[in-house]
Amino acid sequence: MIPFNKPYCSGRELSYIHEVCQSTTMSGNGDFTKLCHGFFEKHYGFRKCLLTTSGTDALEMCAMLCELNAGDEVIVPSYTFVSSAIAFIREGAVIRFADSGSVNPNITAEEIAPLINEKTKVIVVVHYAGVACDMDGIMALAKEHNLLVVEDAAHAIDSYYKGKPLGSIGHLAAFSFHETKNINCGEGGMLVVNDERFVRRSEILWEKGTNRAEFYRGMVNKYGWCDTGSSFLPSELNAAFLWAQLEQIDDIQGKRKHIWESYDQALKGKLPKGIARPELPAYATNNYHMYYLLCESLEQRTALINYLKNNGVQATFHYLPLHASAYYRDKHDGRVLANCDRYGDTLVRLPLFYELKDEDIELITKLIKRFK
């Protein structure tokens, strides 16, 4: 069976983890954490980076920094992972789900604008498959209505919008280094702070509500409890694993580019009736996080997934729209989100991981072209 995903290891991870085991700092915010922070801040120009134990934790920190009150509204795409919404629900917010656009699963300014009212405080954008939302219109809306923008960049490492790194455009951003992502440490994430207002408080939340990070830098004589917070920072073991990946980011991205383009070239103009390739807008780059197809119906997608499985290939669907979930359907305002529903029924993801071989790609694409 060709699996859907296989986490990549560069070969240096165990060596760096051994270094941590021989050091005096294993609990976090040590040398490897600082190396990772420095890489992201220098390479992508992020104002402040803080590694977290997951992408979900990074989103929860974003929600805490937004200082929401009960009844405040947050606009979130429905076609996303539950963490994009639940982080803000935990802070007492009311979620207003936005439909996706017609071209790809990203939300657009046109879908967001009618949802804004006097209770709206935050817009959450998700750069699906690492492809940017059209941020100019969204940021203009946020400025007009004095709203915060949080980029859920879980898929979007090393991807750009009109030359700007994703994660650097909104006030805050969250990345994921889960094993399914381009760069991984098994389970991990990162908060990005682009607005100076949130820099100091982000460190306090990260350090369990204390100013311990300032103490370690010699900025205060002692540290204490200053605010709410939690144990968001990961251990040095995770950071060491992540650093080994970051050292190989160009190689990893190059291989994923080869796989994505091999799929696209093999399937271009040769797909069965009713199945479509992904469309990339001119303003966005592709970080090769995912290669997906769109079927014409749920029945066709189910048949395609089963057909591939019976021939030794694990393909999979993705999100079930959150507005229709068992948890939220009774809380949804009743609007029909037709594009979200369409992606939920028709999108199928193909295997894409570093060790996928050319002969595997050839087999997968031949099977798809033969599907009826």
Q: Same domain for 88 and 196?
A: yes
Q: Is 32 left (phi over 0), alpha (psi -120 to 50) or beta?
A: alpha
What CATH number is associated with residue 292?
3.90.1150.10
Boundary of a domain, candidates 246, 278, 294: 246
Q: Is residue 328 part of a domain?
A: yes
pLDDT, tens digit (0-9, with 9 covering 90-100), for 268-316: 999 999 999 999 999 999 999 999 999 999 999 999 999 999 999 999 9
* pLDDT value, residue 224: 83
* pLDDT value, residue 314: 98
Report the number of distinct structural domains present in the chain. 2
Q: Same domain for 221 and 266?
A: no
* pLDDT value, residue 211: 81
Q: Same domain for 97 and 70?
A: yes
Q: Which residues contact 290 (CB under 8 A, 6 or more apart)?
A: 129, 130, 155, 349, 352
Tell me which residue of 106, 103, 107, 105 sits closest to 115, measured CA to CA: 107
Q: Same domain for 215 and 267?
A: no
Q: Is residue 132 part of a domain?
A: yes
Q: Same domain for 280 and 300?
A: yes
Q: Is residue 26 part of a domain?
A: yes
- Cβ(150)–Cβ(173) under 8 Å? yes
| Boundaries of domain holding 293 | 249-370
Rounded to two decimals, what is the model's pTM? 0.96
Q: Same domain for 218 and 283?
A: no
* pLDDT value, residue 72: 98
**Residue stretches of the chain with pLDDT short of 50:** none
Q: Same domain for 53 and 177?
A: yes
Boundary of a domain, candidates 246, 266, 284: 246
Boundary of a domain, candidates 196, 226, 246: 246
Q: Same domain for 231 and 282?
A: no
What CATH number is associated with residue 151?
3.40.640.10
Q: Same domain for 180 and 197?
A: yes
Q: Same domain for 41 and 91?
A: yes
Q: Same domain for 141 and 181?
A: yes
